[in-house]
Amino acid sequence: MNKKKIVAAGGLVINEKNEILFIFRRQHWDLPKGKLDEGETIEACAVREVQEETGLKKVEIISFLCKTYHEYFDKWINEDVVKESWWYLMKSDSSQILIPQTEEDIEKIVWVDESVIGFYLNSSYPSIKEVLSSYNL
């Protein structure tokens, strides 16, 4: 039986200090992403989701990074699904105020220096490690 595919998009956001933006949600360090809305381009979805989940106002796509896939049980439609996530390298600046989207269970948002990235990846998902490796980390 084929599983329903959910399309999502998000960003690996870097700032002027080459720090990477991480969000903490459901006991994992993650990158901001979310589901594609009907009629929306994948790039617009990626920017919107980063803005909604982090409070960043100015976010710019630099380039496409990769696509990841993972399976999970979607409680809203009561079935197993495959999520196809499109990831973009984005830039923003660290002077903006970060506001966690609590209705999406986001508890914290931090800018992370590459020298300590391993700590965050230890409590992350395999697909997030894949995104960071496509960025050559």
> What is the C-alpha to C-alpha distance for residues 38 and 10, in angstroms, rounded to an integer?
16
Share of the chain above pLDDT 90, in %: 87
Residues 6+ apart with CB under 8 A from 82: 3, 4, 5, 6, 69, 70, 71
- pLDDT of 137 reads 61
Residues 6+ apart with CB under 8 A from 61: 11, 43, 46, 47, 88, 89, 90
| pTM of the predicted protein model | 0.93
> What is the C-alpha to C-alpha distance for residues 112 and 74, in angstroms, rounded to an integer?
30
- Span 36-92, pLDDT tens digits: 999 999 999 999 999 999 999 999 999 999 999 988 888 878 889 999 999 999 999
In the chain, the domains with their CATH numbers are 4-134 (3.90.79.10)
Residue 1 pLDDT grade (very low, low, confident, very high; cuts 50, 70, 90): low
